[in-house]
Chains A and B, each alone.
Chain A
Amino acid sequence: MAHTSTEQCEMLKSKDFTKSKEYKSKYIYLKTTLQLEDDSRIIDHPMVFQGIINEALTSLFGLVGSAMPVDILKYDTSKHIAILRIHSCDKVKVWSALSLYGFHRNSRCSFQIHQVSGHLISMSNSPPLSTN
């Protein structure tokens, strides 16, 4: 559609430039720790962590829930802090599944979510003071 210059001027005048467009990021990044009741079983490998996330999703949302891709971008084995990446459309479901996962192999556990952001660069801040 070709507009004349006067038509284009009118179109620009009618647009509201006071409100900025919100560009939603494609991915959401979560910084989490899994705390187990008995500290003897410590999670060494990120694949074990991935398995537990999968169990949490499957128990609450079934096979459809386990099909939501959750990537572990970084796993700190000394502090047991993981940075997860999820699609922004799955945010509510994954976050709720992690929060509501209470029992892992007959011992109590809890996912503690320290930080949530749409940008990975905001994860590069100082670590949490204490997990108690």
Chain B
Amino acid sequence: MSRDVQFKEKNIHVAIKESILLNFGDFGIGCVQLSLKVKYHNPLTSIFLVRVKRGHHQMVQSAITFIQQINRKQTAIQTLHIAGTIRSCQKFLVNYHKKTLPAIISQAKDDDTKKKIQDILNCYNVEGAKDMKLMDETVQDLVEEPEQSD
């Protein structure tokens, strides 16, 4: 996914609904329409959180995998984690960022960004979702920085 494209939560919601209608028909829409909601969306890290009623999550997961375009732009969506609460999703995200940030170090162009990433990895060794917001904001800053340096 290119970072120039800006999706809103509405666009993702519409795309998921269309995919369910195409792949699972009226029955699928009927199961899921009331409970389906895009709870959280980070356009810079391209991560979003979808809520759905228990029991139909597998249907929605497969419908999301079949999404080819959002807002007439070609996309491919990968499911990172399925959980019962937003809190456990955020816990997963903290660990996910911990794993992916070292990969970004190798791609970083300046020594300053490398130092920042290493600082984050040292600070956020704390388990739990307390620092989730802060971590997310710092990841956002990091993602914005390489663009500015270009």
Asked if B43 CB lies within 8 Å of chain A CBs, one says no
Looking at A27-35, A41-49, A57-65, the stretch in contact with chain B turns out to be A57-65
Cα-based distance from A111 to B22 in the complex (angstroms) = 23
Question: What band does the interface of chain A fall in when counting residues whose beta carbon is under 8 Å from B?
Answer: under 10
Question: What band does the interface of chain B fall in when counting residues whose beta carbon is under 8 Å from A?
Answer: under 10
Whether the Cβ atoms of B22 and A63 lie closer than 8 Å is yes
Asked if B101 CB lies within 8 Å of chain A CBs, one says no
The 8 A CB mask of A56-99 against B (1 = contact, 0 = none) is: 00111111110000000000000000000000000000000000
Which A residues lie within 8 Å of B27 (CB)?
Answer: 60-62, 65
Asked if B26 CB lies within 8 Å of chain A CBs, one says yes
Determine the residue in chain A with the shortest Cβ distance to B21.
Answer: A62
Q: How far, in Å, is B17 (CB) from chain A's closest CB?
A: 12
Determine the residue in chain A with the shortest Cβ distance to B29.
Answer: A62
Q: Interface residues, chain B, CB within 8 Å of chain A? A: 20-28
Q: Interface residues, chain A, CB within 8 Å of chain B? A: 58-65
